[in-house]
Amino acid sequence: MTITTVEELRRMKRVGKVVSEALDAMKKKVAVSVSTLALDEACARVFERHGARSAPQLVYNFPGAACISLNYEAVHGIPLASRFLKAGDLVKLDVTAELDGFFADAAITVPVSKISQQNMKLAECAESALRVGIEAAQVGQPLNQNGSGVHTEVERCGFKVMRQLGGHGVAGQSTKKPASQISTIQRSVKSSAPALLLL
C-alpha cells in the first residue's frame, strides 16, 4: 500500500505493533505438549486488548485468530485443540491484524526444543532471504528486485521457492481485501516510491 499522510503512517505503525506483540506472545508459549489452539488463544488475547481484529477471520471467515502450521505445512494451518507440539517441530506463526481500517501481516518460524540440522538450515535460509528482500527495497528500484533477490538467496542456500505462494500486499482500508497478489519475480510492477510500504 502507499502511505500519503503522517496519520496513515501512525495507524500503520499502530497495527504493526499489535502484530509484533501477538507474535511475541505466541512465541513465548511454544513448547513441547502445547496445543496450536493455545498459541492461537494467546494471539486472540493480544488482539482483544488492543481492539484489533483477525484479518483472516474478518475477510475469509478463518476458524482461528492466526494461521499456525507445522513442519511440511507451508502456511495457513488451522489451530486445533487436539494438535500438540513435539520436540523437533518447526512452527510457523502467521499473524494478520486489522485495526482502524489498516492491516499488518507478519510471520515467524519457531523451533520446538532441538531441531534437525536440515530444519535449522531451512529456518536460517528463510531469515537470510527476508533480509535480502528488505535490503532490495530501495527508492527507484522495481518491486521485482525484492522477489528476485529472495529467489536467488533461497537457491544459494540449496532450497527452492514455492511458486504456488506469492508475496502479497495489504489494504489500507477495511473495504479492500488484504490479499491482492503482487508478481515479484516474473516482472517489474512499478518502482518503489518513498511512501510505499512493503509488508
pLDDT score, position 33: 98
Quick one: pLDDT at residue 169? Answer: 66
d(CA 18, CA 182): 24
Beta-bridged to residue 94, according to DSSP, are 67, 107
Q: Are residues 79 and 17 in the same domain?
A: yes
β-sheet bridge partners, residue 191: 142
- Please report the pLDDT score of residue 194 as a whole number: 53
pLDDT tens-digit profile of 93-119? 999 999 999 999 999 999 999 999 999
Interacting residues of 10 by C-beta distance below 8 A, sequence separation 6+: none
Q: Given this model, what pLDDT does residue 175 score?
A: 36
pLDDT in tens, 165-182: 766 666 554 434 433 333
Residue 20 is part of a domain; what is its CATH number?
Answer: 3.90.230.10
Question: Is 102 in the same domain as 34?
Answer: yes
Domain that holds residue 19: 6-114
**Cα–Cα distance, 158 to 33 (Å, whole number):** 32
170 φψ region: left (φ > 0), alpha (ψ -120 to 50), beta (else): beta
Residue 1 lies in a domain: no
Q: Which of 97, 114, 131 is the last residue of a domain?
A: 114
pTM (predicted TM-score)? 0.83
pLDDT computed for residue 197 by the predictor: 52
65 lies in a domain? yes
Q: How many domains is the chain built from?
A: 2
pLDDT of residue 131: 93
Domain stop point among 63, 93, 114: 114
- Domain membership of residue 197 (yes or no) is no
- Same domain flag for 104 and 120: no
* Residues of the chain where predicted confidence (pLDDT) is lower than 50: 173-189, 192, 195, 199
At 68 the pLDDT is: 98
Let me know if residue 53 belongs to a domain: yes
Same domain, 88 and 156: no
